[in-house]
Amino acid sequence: MSKKIYGALAAVAASALLLTACGGSSTSTESSAAPAASEAAAPAESAAAPAAVAKIGVILPDAASSARWETADRKFLTEAFTAAGVEFDIQNANGDKAKFATIADQMLASGVSAMLIVNLDSPSAAAVVAKAAAQGVPVIDYDRLTLGGGSNYYVSFDNVAVGTKIGEGLVKCMGDNGNASGPVALLNGSPTDNNATLFKQGYEKVITDAGYTIADDQAVPDWDNTKAGTIFEQMYTKANGDFVGVASANDGLGGSVIAVLDRNGQAGKIPVTGQDATDEGLQRVLLGTQCMSVYKAIKAEAEAAAALAIALSNGDTAAADALATGKTADSETGMDVASVLLVPVAIYPENVKDVIADGFTTADKLCTTDELKAACAKYGVQ
């Protein structure tokens, strides 16, 4: 799996390095989750003649909706930019739209030559894109498309396909439980996140096409796991627990669902889905309380975005266009956005080991209790 996932992206990573090989020594900076702090990374060396130094600004959305933003995306973006020898600034808006705008203003004032953003919602991010465009700074939507924003590029996964994997996983697990039909609950992501809409589009179609009924259908504001627990508790009480499965849009929401089921003695009895292949989600998959997760190779996503950002920072739109693998329709503008869309992978107990093989996590992080160690041994997680 590792070779399949990363082999196709090897050229993208190589492009990022080639685009900056002539950049000479440059200072790379990365902000911590607190936007005010920056620290210098080791300079990258090159034997080639100096050229204009790229400076790339990255705004991550939060640290609460998913662990991935700080534990994976920051790490892999940092590694890609550092390897390429470009100057960069990564900050986290911590779920605050006003802070998101302030960070963007600071980055533009500092002279960034390209920006890579993960929006909190489309309207607030579209304002940032407009400011950047007015200053001639190209913007890449990372992971989430800013509807109506007019960003230059979009790097993500095929999010309808992610939802389809979730739906297929739930149908499989419900069938394994002997339920070929019955009521299903949908616990969706934030209504302000276009990805959540696409995920739902994928899994709802699979579930209904398979002959199951949608008994309840709720969105979770801001992907907030605490709110998710409250919302699902109400759904569960209203239905008296009469669900044959729960389509949960990510591992964080899935964990909230499973906590409610556990309190009612049904954890592991009603299949629950997720995505992001978080450590907690993978542990639940191994233990059987979560039906499946979806692995998105964030290293590949980060490397693709870094390559695009570096090309744009160097003014090389031809190189950036060559990296795009397709187009994504902006439902608000009716325009197509040049895109790099990667392929998601469904994760069940049997292939949790493949996530480790890709270097996304380690067995030490997953196999932490006697029960988990036994499950890890059973499924070859080492």
pTM strictly above 0.95: no
Residues 275 and 304 in one domain: no
CA distance 153 to 70: 22
**DSSP reduced 3-state for 139:** strand
Print the SS3 string covering 152-216. CEEEEECHHHHHHHHHHHHHHHHHHCCCCCCEEEEEECCCCCHHHHHHHHHHHHHHHHCCCEEEE
Q: Whole-number mean pLDDT of the chain?
A: 89
Residues 95 and 170 in one domain: no
Mean pLDDT of the region 132-136: 97
Domain of residue 46, CATH code: 3.40.50.2300
Residues 152 and 207 in one domain: no
Task: Compute how many other C-beta atoms are within 10 angstroms of the C-beta atom of residue 369.
Answer: 10
CA distance 191 to 87: 35
Residues 167 and 260 in one domain: yes
Domain that holds residue 253: 159-296+346-378
Residue type, 213: T
Residue 12 pLDDT greater than 50, yes or no: no
Q: How many domains does the chain have?
A: 2
Instruction: Give me the numbers of helices (H) and strands (E) for the chain, helices first please.
Output: 16, 14
Residues 46 and 58 in one domain: yes
Digit-coded pLDDT (tens) for 287-327: 999 999 999 999 999 999 999 999 999 999 999 999 999 99
Residues 240 and 363 in one domain: yes
Say what the pLDDT of residue 53 is.
58
Band the pLDDT of 175: cuts 50, 70, 90: very high
The answer to which of 19-33, 47-61, 158-172, 220-234 has the lowest mean pLDDT is 19-33
Residue 50 pLDDT greater than 50, yes or no: no
Band the pLDDT of 103: cuts 50, 70, 90: very high
Residues 137 and 9 in one domain: yes
